[in-house]
Structures are given as C-alpha cells and as structure tokens.
Amino acid sequence: MQILTTPAAMRHWRLSGSGSLGFVPTMGYLHDGHLALVQRSIAENLRTVVSIFVNPLQFAPGEDFERYPRDEVRDLALLRDAGVDAVYLPSGADMYPEGFQTYAEVGAISERLEGEHRPGHFRGVTTIVLKLLNAVGPDRAYFGRKDAQQLRVIQRMVRDLDLGVEIVPCDIVRERDGLALSSRNVYLSPEERAAATVIHRALEKARSTFELGERRAPKLRTLVQSTIAREPLANVEYVSLADDITLEELETTVERPALLSVVVRFGHTRLLDNLELR
C-alpha cells in the first residue's frame, strides 16, 4: 500500500498505473461505515485510493477541529487489511499554503440545513473535495448517505463544474441498536451513547407513520421532534423534512421524494442522521 503525502506524489502515482480508479475521501478515525465505502470501491474498481485529512476549512471557530479523534496508525492498518492500493495523506500546509484564497462554493442547496447551522461548512467541504478530486483524478468517488446534504452538494458541484467523476452514494451503516456509525460517537459518555438510540427510533417512527399514509409534513416533523424530546439527554438542534433534490423545507404535504434529517446534541456532541421518504 502506497502512502502519498503531496498532491504531486498523488498525481504521479495515478499516472503510473492504469485501469479504473475509485476514491474514498475521509477524515480518518475509520469505522465500518468508512470501510463499507472502501469495500465497494475495491469491488468496483481496479485500484482504490483513500484519503485521510481532517479539513480545518470545514470547521468553524469553536467547533471540534482540534479535538477531532485521530489514529493514523490504526487507520493505515485497517486500510492495508482491506486491500487499499494507496492512501493520500496530505498535510495542512500542502492543502492550504500561505496566501491560499481560492474556494469552491455551491449555491442555495448548501445554504440550508447544515449550511444554516454551520456557516462556511460546505465551502470548506466543497473546496477540499475539489482539491482532492483534482489530485487523485478518480473515475468514481464514494460518499455516505449519512451526510445526505454533503452528498447532494457534491453531486451538484460535480455536475456544475463538469468534473467528470461518478459520485457513488452508499447506504448508512448502523450499530445493531440503530445508531449511525460516526467518528464522533467516541465523544459520547455511556449514558449519552445509550440515549442516542432515540434518533434512529424517532426517524423510523416517522417512516412507519408515513407508510401508513401520513403525508402532512408538519405532523411528521413534530413526531420526530417530540419523540426525541422525551429523551432527557437529547437536545434537538433541528428536524427537517425537505424536498429530496432542492432541500427546500416542505411546508404542507410530502408529494415527492423527501429527506427527513435531524441534528441532535448530546452534551457537546453533535450527531447527524437522516432517512429518505419515497
């Protein structure tokens, strides 16, 4: 497994081989959710590159950039065992050299939901993803549905800027009790970890109510909100039921595919989850 630490080395490696190239961008501290993306890429491509970079540009001041969990030794061992061909591990200085002043920004779709609650977040995400795609040059790039808005924002950027890479959405991997795997789950105390199962329960309750015929968007949002609110350790930051494509909030009824997404805080830990209603 090759370890490449600069954009030039990354590009050189890509050009030194041939055949389809799959790419999985991550911020490391890998779990089975990341590894599901990696396995899919390995199955669908001749070569697979995984990047690990905790991107300072997508964290606002006061967020968890400094304390974001990191374990490079373990990550590299997992990727080697999985059969990854190369790992791209760029440095902060290479990604954002002095004088850096060029950004990729997607419009309206990145201003809602996470964009509203984390101003500047998606500008950081799209800028780093564009840089990574430029250096790696993959045929396919794999993204989790866990970060549903991120996936849609990146699909938009790829179409709008003619990036010519196929974006492959991958299903959410969950713990047995329904909690979506996330690197941030390590922040949770045992009590918070137990309480966090309420998120998936609330989403599933909305899904079954929807399947029984409920189409009123405010009702479905309230159902999720009130289910989570019954858990004392949970603080709902937002519940959104939005058009699956534009991410515009549905004011009346669900008539087209919709994205139900929530952000819930447990102490200082911010957890994100969603499901698609169709």
The contact set with ligand AMP (CB under 6 A) reads: 26-27, 33-34, 36-37, 143-144, 146-147, 170, 172-173, 180-183
- CB-wise, 76 or 217, nearer to ligand AMP? 76
Residue 170 Cβ vs ligand AMP, minimum distance, rounded to whole Å? 6
CB atoms within 10 A of CB 64: 14
Note if 34 is an active site residue: yes
End-to-end CA distance of the chain: 41
Minimum distance between the CB of residue 146 and ligand AMP, rounded to whole angstroms? 4
The Cβ of residue 225 has, within 10 Å, a number of other Cβ atoms equal to 15
Nearer CB in complex with ligand AMP: 4/173: 173
Which residue's CB is nearer to ligand AMP, number 36 or number 228? 36
Instruction: Provide, rounded to whole angstroms, the least separation between the CB of residue 37 and ligand AMP.
Output: 6
Q: Which residues pair with 274 in a beta bridge?
A: 261
Compare residues 154 and 241 and give the one whose CB is closer to ligand AMP. Answer: 154
Residue nearest to ligand AMP as judged by C-beta position: 144
Catalytic hit among 12, 31, 34, 121: 34
* Smallest separation (angstroms) from ligand AMP to the CB of 151: 7
Least Å distance, CB 213 to ligand AMP, is 30
Which one, 26 or 110, has the nearer CB to ligand AMP?
26
Contact 46, 21 (CB under 8 A): yes
**Backbone φ, ψ for residue 72 (5° rounding):** -65, -35
Smallest gap from Cβ 180 to ligand AMP, in A, equals 5
Nearer Cβ to ligand AMP (50/250): 50
Instruction: Please enumerate in sequence order all residues whose Cβ is within 8 A of that of 183, keeping only pairs 6 or more positions apart, or say none.
Output: 27, 28, 29, 30, 31, 68, 69
Question: Kindly report the CA angle at 20 between 15 and 24, in degrees rounded to 5?
Answer: 90
Name the residues annotated as catalytic: 34
